Each structure stands twice: as structure tokens, then as C-alpha cells.
Amino acid sequence: MQRRQFIISTATAACAVGALGQATAAESTVINYGGSAWLGHYPVYVGIKAGLFAAHGLEVKWTAFGTSSSRLSALLSGNIDMAGTGIVSALALMSRGSKHFQIVGTPEDFGRVEGLFVRSDVTSVQSLKGKKIGVTFASSSHLLVLDLLASAGLNPDKDVSLLNVPAPELVAALQSKQIDAAAVWTPHFNRIRAMPDTKLLADDTAFSLYKQFGVTPGPDVLVVRSEFAVKNSEAVRRFIQTYFSACAMLRDKPVEMAKHLTELTNLTLDDQIATIKEASWYDIGQQQSLLKAPGKFVDGVQKLADLLTAHKQIDKSPSVKDWINVSYL
């Protein structure tokens, strides 16, 4: 992907530095971050392009990955230091006892930019019986589909055909009628939503845990490699503070922030603004409450782990709180 250099205004830089304190060049630390075009990575991309990390003595290098699982593999192998990830991939590692990473934040609630699309003649989940549903396996969209089918009394192994399709290929698969329905997240969500003769049957707010816990099928979390965090605790703290400043800017200045993101997502500016606005962005002041255990969010993620185990997506349900570290906040 071709990169453009964005120039930060003096006023913006001064404001950002004032929040955390001026960092000198001698304090500059390189942090390798794993991202993608998914909105959970917007705070980092904005932070890089708007110069927020650089203003706090951090050189954040961006590496794109197609899936959360590949991103976490790179984290565990030491190729990247921090990453955003859907919790499903993290829970898969946690279920196997991996202690090589820590959860240090959650950026947003994306309940309205992931969902199940169907052709216009499909009126309910029950009417998907006998249909082909395209979804990326072992993803939050996959769990959404399994949850919706279970709620409708449909067996995913007998009543429908679930096809493992990489998210970027779902648009073409639906257009060519290789599948009858598709479950996907933004930016692919936006492209399918714009297709004729297609409608959104359910988004993440229809997920069984959403109303009680506010938890989507795969909440986004910010993770750090444990070894890196121990050796670079101050840099991790500065990264997290800056990261959540960017979250607040996405919430409060969506039009301004969208201009930094269209290069990453290839969405139109209007669609990009709408996508930012459809998510609920959390700031640093909300993190202690969100990540406390027991608490609504952590309890919801624990229930999510239990549900993944019931659907045979992970081997066993880990104790989620054991991976959460709020000391950098």
C-alpha cells in the first residue's frame, strides 16, 4: 500500500504533547504494531498519521495482517510488540495457556458495523435453512452466525452450509451467487451493504450476550507482548495514553479523523465518517471500569469464552481476568 506523509499542525502537536509531557529524541522507542483496515486499528493509524506517537517519543511501525490469528502469531514470535485483535483469537491462545501477551485496553464497541447480509427475499434467520452462508471461520462473524442459528433452532452442520470464505472475498462470492448470505465486518461490511438486492438481516446487537453485557461476538482488545512490556514499561504506558487520546479524537472529531483513514480502508470519505460514528469509542477514563473484574465487560467476555467452548471453537474456557493488566493505565 502506498503511504502518504501527513503533516501535523503545531497546535495539534502541542496539544498532544501537553497531555502526556514532552518526550525527547533520546527517549524515542520503536514499537512494532500489527494492524489491518478494521476499525479497531483506527486509533493507531490516526496516531501515526497525525504525528501523535512521534510527539511522545514513540516511533510506531505499522505491519498489516489479514487475520487476528496471524497477527497474534507474529506477536508471540516477537516480530511485533503490540497489536489490536478480536478477542476470539486471543481467547484461543488463552485456552491453551499462553502467557506471552497481556490485554491492556479495549478501544470501542463496534456492534453496528459487523453483521449478516442476505438476499432481499430472505425474511428471517429460519428462512436460511438450506442456504449457503459465507463467513470467515474462527472469527467474530463466525460466532455471530453460530449464535443466530442456535437462537433460531437451526443446526449449523445439518440445516445450512457454512463456507469458509476470507473476508475480502465475500463481496465477490455474494455478487456471483456462490453464497446466499455473508457475515462480515467493515470495510467489507460497507461494500456489501451498498450492493443491490441485499439487506442486513442482523448486526452484532442481535448477539445473545450484547443486551446483558454489551459484548459483541468478538470485542476488540489492545494487547502487548509480555516480554516487551516488562522491558519497555514506560514506552507502553505512553503508547496506551496516546492510543486512547486518538480514540477520543475519533469520537469527538470524526470528520477530521476520517481524512487520515480513507487511504487505509479505501472507503469514500462519507462512508468513512459514517463508520467512525457507528462505533462507540472509549477513552482512557473508561478503561479501569471496563477492565475491572468482576465487571460488566470482563464478565461478558468470560461468558463469550464459555460460549466459544460450547460451540467447539476453543478447547476450554480460560479465566479471562488472568490476562488483563491495567497497570499501564
pLDDT single digits (tens) 92-104? 999 999 999 999 9
- pLDDT averaged over every residue in the chain: 91
pLDDT-derived band of residue 304, with 50, 70 and 90 as boundaries? very high
Does residue 16 register a pLDDT over 50? Answer: no
Are 242 and 20 in contact by the 8 Å Cβ rule? The answer is: yes
Are 178 and 94 in contact by the 8 Å Cβ rule? The answer is: no
Residue 61, strand partner residues = 32
Rounded Cα distance, 188 and 240, in Å: 28
Does residue 62 register a pLDDT over 90? Answer: yes
**b (16+ CB within 10 A) / e for 67-101:** bbbebbbbbeeeebbbbbbbbbbbbbbbbeeeeeb
pLDDT of residue 6: 30
pLDDT of residue 253: 98
pLDDT-derived band of residue 211, with 50, 70 and 90 as boundaries? confident
What number of CA atoms fall less than 13 Å from residue 59's CA on the CB side? 7
pTM: 0.85
Does residue 221 register a pLDDT over 50? Answer: yes
Q: Which segments of the chain does DSSP mark as H helices, in order?
A: 10-20, 42-49, 68-77, 87-95, 140-151, 170-175, 188-193, 210-213, 226-231, 233-252, 254-265, 269-278, 284-291, 296-310
Cell of 11: 497546535
Q: Which domains are delineated in the chain? A: 10-109+217-323 (3.40.190.10), 114-213 (3.40.190.10)
Does residue 19 register a pLDDT over 60? Answer: no
The residue assigned the cell 461478558 is 300
pLDDT-derived band of residue 66, with 50, 70 and 90 as boundaries? confident
Rounded Cα distance, 220 and 13, in Å: 27
pLDDT of residue 3: 33
Kind of pairing between the strands at 220-225 and 82-86: antiparallel
What mean pLDDT do residues 243-263 have? Answer: 98
Does residue 30 register a pLDDT over 90? Answer: yes
Strand (E) or helix (H) holding 132: strand 132-135
